[in-house]
Chains A and B, each alone.
Chain A
């Protein structure tokens, strides 16, 4: 296999030359026609026309307990019921993304409405009815369902997405000595990813070989989890996930459906289809943990930051090491010689907390970017000027150079486009009828990572290419950008390149997560394409660098040779692999951006409407301007949700997630979202990958809620430090004269 290890910055590449003219272009999605006509099959929609059975999950209506007995007699007696699967191997929640381990229940109820059994029946309707007939006896245990009363009891874990503690110098001493001290605590609630496609699996056994279609983001890890869950060797399992109805981290680990469907199918001797209900998704997959974040910043009397502390407490279940890494951006985004970033996990008996879109930045920057606004206010400075004055020249934690950091360009460009100069200089100073108007801004950043990934390119004798990799497309545009990279590198029209994804029988890939997908899987296609070009050069007896490829022809000197002639009837298959290398450790890599928001807050009711929202971002080379922009809209709108609407509410008495569906857990709808603006600046990061691109999927959510919060402060003078900023929180803080409505 041809391998490229990212040990040094990449020079000029065929992507820079852009000879075919397709890289970066906002072309329509490769699989778009299938999606708009309902022809793209998602996990549940396989095996149409085959004789299948249907599953329905039995859940435990108790927060913490031991299972004493399960009586499936009445359920089994119902006509049409094929079997009831229960036992230690049932997963109580989704698996974590960081290891092949699976969360088997082992006789315990660890959180309210966790799965305990599966009914398999001839029809969905019968399975659903029978699920209510399964009698489970519990021995109740004491449970803890909130973190507020247990502050200070958190664990420092080693299994998180970053070290629990990142320190430099002596923060406490520096803070105590600082000329100006800022010390505030912010709260973010628990959140649900709530992807539109509920987790689903279709399992089919052929002897001891399992084929399973399941909605998953990281297939090469997930296939191991499924194998572990059912106790077989991973070589016996083929996992397919060609189309995924959204993931946002909630499908990084397998859902409980995969193992249940496989066990059910084994038991009844025919394929089983199982889609989790929306209520199961909210209560039996995973969630983002709630946080309490203390932000302490020491500055000089002129506003220069000298030390930075960000201490987070979050929740997870007993034994779970994952934590919401709220300080992930703080480590490199803000200056300060003395630094303290910590994370502690308080144990609760609530659904497993795990990764959700931009783990860390999405919650941490709600706190830190509000804190910066508060500090700027204290110095009577414009928040833009305050940020510009506190821009570090190098990574303040490790003293590493930034691979590329254009944060200030984003802020300047945003301020200009937004007409930031028009911002009301004092809070609660602008009123239009019953609406108070305010502007707010924030920075955005998202740490960049490159993962090992591989791909194959197969070229037919006619000169058509097929890209194959186990990579997934969760709506991010993977199909399309891989097609564009292959077409640009190989000099092929787009319609001469096909892409096969989402199958563990294809070359192993990074999967989709952490915004690394495009860079990692894309680079593997780049490497494979380079190898294919080498083969062309060898056949033509020239050096690969001298070859120009365009429209299915190789141009060398004054010769122009069609690919079919070079291939001479052969099919060529080449594989390429990318691996992270020294540039990951000798540069600090992140994508950057800035958000600008205008809100209108109703002077009487406290209702907030976002009127304008602009994000300016840089993320290295943009591979497809259209799909990249769409990703940013997604981040902005999640930011609206986090600022104003979303909150998973847990009943502290029982552990029940109260708002466990889309009627009660409020995600933004059309009417909540104004026309949005996204501007992506021209950029290239040669340290990040051969593509010179960086992650973008999670950039735009980072900080956007804080920009809205800061705008609410500017509109009303009310500073809310507990998200979401709902009417009840704002009402008592609205300016006095507001009572006498216009």
Chain B
């Protein structure tokens, strides 16, 4: 089968039971996405599929032929960081770093959802414009667990990156 990851097609011959996460980590060398629970409970494996964030441990690789898959490696590289990655670095939005790729990919995906006015549990109403209050960020990012508990800095990082991304948009 073929998987299109970060804009490049990869040929694969894998067990049909292989999750999208394991296909990337064990077969394609994209180890940036992490396995923290393998049950969709922690968010460390978050990837974007056609621009929307998903838990890649909860979906099979064979279901994604033809999809545009973005992993942390596609968000930015050490010498060319995405504004979200820069913000996590400067605001110390991580400690051990294991949940970090998932937090960053999730944050990028989340900003897309807000832009499309998807409401959340923290929204005042479900039909109006979504805004990015810190309570909204906390609610929308709660699928990404950080046991080091960098949460306050992650919220700061997302607020700062979001402002910067708007400026340059």
Q: Of residues 708 to 728 in A, which have CB atoms within 8 Å of B's CB atoms? A: none
Chain B contacts for A195, CB-based, 8 A: 96, 98, 147
- Residues in B neighbouring A32, C-beta threshold 8 A: 89, 94
Please tell me the number of chain A residues within 8 Å of chain B, measured between CB atoms: 66
A54: interface (CB < 8 Å): yes
A16 and B17 alpha carbons, distance in the complex (Å): 59
Residue contact B97 to A243, C-beta cutoff 8 Å: yes
How distant is the Cα of A661 from the Cα of B40 in the complex, in angstroms?
11
A-contact bits for B138-168, CB 8 A (1 contact / 0 none): 1101111111111111110000000000000
Q: Which of A600-638 contact B (CB under 8 A)?
A: 626-627, 629-631, 633-634, 636-638
Q: A661-B39, A673-B151 are in contact. Are A33 and B89 (CB under 8 A)?
A: yes
- B-chain residues with CB within 8 Å of residue A627 when the two chains form the complex: 92, 95
Q: Are the CB atoms of A630 and B153 closer together than 8 Å?
A: yes
- B71, CB-defined interface residue at 8 Å: yes
What's the Cα separation between A198 and B38 when bound, in Å? Answer: 10
Least CB separation from A200: chain B residue: B35
Cα–Cα distance between A150 and B10 once the two chains are bound (Å): 60
Q: Are B29 and A37 in contact, CB atoms less than 8 angstroms apart?
A: no
Q: Is B109's beta carbon under 8 Å from chain A?
A: no
Instruction: Tell me, yes or no, whether B116 is within 8 Å of chain A by CB.
Output: no
Measured in the bound complex, the distance between the Cα atoms of B34 and A671 in whole Å is 22
* A667 CA to B41 CA, complexed, in Å: 11
Known: A126-B15, A196-B34, A197-B36. A35 touches B41 (CB 8 A): no
Interchain CB contact under 8 A, A634 and B81: no
The answer to whether B36 and A196 have CB atoms under 8 Å apart is: yes
A38 sits at the interface (CB 8 A)? yes
A670's partner among B39, B94, B139 (CB-CB below 8 A) is B139
Contact in complex: A662, B100 (CB < 8 Å): no
- Which segment, of A471-479, A590-598, A680-688, faces chain B? A471-479
Closest B residue to A640 using CB positions: B149
Name which of A107-115, A244-252, A440-448 contacts chain B: A244-252
With A477-B95, A661-B41 in contact, do A36 and B151 touch (Cβ < 8 Å)?
no
Query: Which residues of B are found within 8 Å of A429, using beta-carbon distances?
Result: none
> 1/0 per residue B82-100: CB within 8 Å of A?
0001101110101111111
In the bound complex, how far is the Cα of B92 from the Cα of A26, in angstroms? 10
**A662 with B36: CB separation less than 8 A:** yes
* B72 is an interface residue with CB less than 8 A from chain A: yes
Q: Do A125 and B17 touch across chains, with their CB atoms under 8 A apart?
A: yes
Does B37 interact with chain A (Cβ within 8 Å)?
yes
Give bound CA distance, A668 to B151, whole Å.
10
User: Would you call B148 and A246 a contact (CB within 8 A)?
Assistant: yes
A633 and B149 form a contact (CB under 8 A): yes
Judged by a CB distance under 8 angstroms, whether A536 is at the interface is no
Residues of A within 8 A of B38 (CB): 277-278
B14, B30, B153: residue with the most chain A Cβ atoms closer than 10 Å: B153
Give A465-499 interface residues, CB cut-off 8 Å to B: 474-477
Q: Is B66 an interface residue (CB 8 A)?
A: no
Distance A385 CA – B149 CA, assembled complex (angstroms): 32
B98 and A245 within 8 A (CB)? yes
Partner of A37, one of B26, B76, B148, B153: B76
Contact with A along B42-67 (1 / 0, CB 8 A): 10100000000000000000000000
Contact partner of B155 (CB less than 8 A), chosen from A44, A247, A670, is A670
A37–B138 CB distance below 8 A = no
Which residues of chain B are near A637, meaning CB under 8 Å? 149, 151
Cβ of A382 to closest chain B Cβ, rounded Å: 29
- CB contacts under 8 Å to B, within A112-154, are 123-126, 129
Contact A634 B95 (CB under 8 A): yes
Contact B98–A246 (Cβ < 8 Å)? yes
Proximity bits, A45-74, B CB within 8 Å = 1, else 0? 100110000100000000000000000000
When C-beta atoms are compared, the residue in chain B nearest to A629 turns out to be B92
Over the window 23-37 of chain A, the binary record of Cβ atoms lying under 8 Å from chain B Cβ atoms (1 yes, 0 no) is 000101101111111
Q: Closest CB-CB distance, A655 to chain B, in whole Å?
A: 22
Point out the residue from A197, A663, A671 that lies within 8 Å of B98, measured CB to CB: A197
Which residues of chain A have C-beta atoms less than 8 A from B37's C-beta?
198, 278, 661-662
Residues of B within 8 A of A28 (CB): 89-90, 92
With a cutoff of 8 Å between Cβ atoms, the chain A residues found around residue B155 in the complex are: 670, 675
Choice from B33, B143, B145 contacting A667 with Cβ under 8 Å: B145
A39 at the binding interface (Cβ < 8 Å): yes
Establish whether residues B36 and A198, one from each chain, have CB atoms under 8 Å apart when the complex forms: yes
What A residues does B104 contact at CB under 8 A?
A: 36
Residue B128 at the chain A interface, CB threshold 8 Å: no
A626 near B92: Cβ-Cβ < 8 Å: yes
Q: Is the CB of B81 within 8 A of A33?
A: yes
Shortest Cβ gap from A498 to chain B (Å): 15
- Smallest CB–CB gap between A506 and chain B, Å? 20
Q: A124, B148: Cβ atoms under 8 Å?
A: no
Answer whether residue A42 sits at the interface, using C-beta atoms and an 8 A cutoff: yes
Contact of A35 among B36, B100, B134, B139 (CB under 8 A): B100
Question: For the complex, what is the distance from the CA of A627 to the CA of B42, rounded to whole Å?
Answer: 23
- Please name the residue on chain B nearest to A477 by beta carbon: B95
A566 within 8 A of B: no
What separation, in Å, do the CA atoms of A123 and B12 have in the docked complex?
14
Task: Name the A residues within 8 Å of B151 (CB-CB).
Answer: 633, 637, 668-670, 673
B69 to chain A, nearest CB (A): 14
CA distance A266 to B13 in the complex (A): 27
- 8 A Cβ contacts from B86-131 to A: 86, 88-90, 92, 94-101, 104
Minimum CB–CB distance for A669 against chain B, Å: 4
Closest B residue to A129 using CB positions: B17
Closest CB-CB distance, A80 to chain B, in whole Å? 9
In contact, B92 and A29 (Cβ under 8 angstroms): yes
Selected contact of A45 from candidates B31, B145, B147, CB within 8 Å: B31
Within 8 A of B (CB), among A628-653: 629-631, 633-634, 636-638
On chain B, the residues within 8 Å of A34 by CB distance are 78, 97
- A24 to chain B minimum Cβ distance, whole angstroms, is 15
Q: In the complex the two chains form, what is the Cα distance from A243 to B96 in whole Å?
A: 8
B154 contact from A44, A125, A670, Cβ within 8 A = A670
Q: Bound complex: CA of A247 vs CA of B148, how far in Å?
A: 9
Asked if A275 is at the interface of the complex by the 8 Å CB criterion, the answer is yes
B137 touches A670 (CB 8 A): yes
Determine whether A537 belongs to the interface, using a CB cutoff of 8 Å to chain B.
Answer: no
Nearest B residue to A278, CB-CB: B37
Task: Let me know if A248 and B147 touch, CB within 8 A.
Answer: yes
Q: How far is the CB of A163 from chain B (nearest CB, A)?
A: 31
CB neighbours of A37 from chain B (8 A): 32, 72-73, 75-78, 81, 85, 101
Closest CB of chain B to A307's CB: distance in Å?
37
Write out the residue numbers on chain A whose beta carbons fall within 8 Å of the beta carbon of B149: 633-634, 636-638, 668, 673
Residues of B within 8 A of A98 (CB): none
Asked if A196 contacts B152 (CB within 8 A), the reply is no
Contact present for B41 and A662 (CB under 8 Å): yes
Given A630-B95, A670-B151, A671-B139, 8 further pairs, Cβ under 8 A = A36-B86, A37-B77, A38-B31, A42-B98, A197-B98, A626-B92, A661-B41, A673-B138
Q: Could you list 10 A-B pairs, sorted by A, with CB under 8 Å?
A: A36-B101, A37-B73, A37-B77, A38-B31, A39-B77, A125-B17, A195-B147, A245-B97, A278-B42, A662-B37
Residues of A within 8 A of B (CB): 26, 28-29, 31-42, 44-45, 48-49, 54, 123-126, 129, 193-198, 243-248, 273, 275, 277-278, 474-477, 626-627, 629-631, 633-634, 636-638, 661-663, 667-671, 673, 675-676
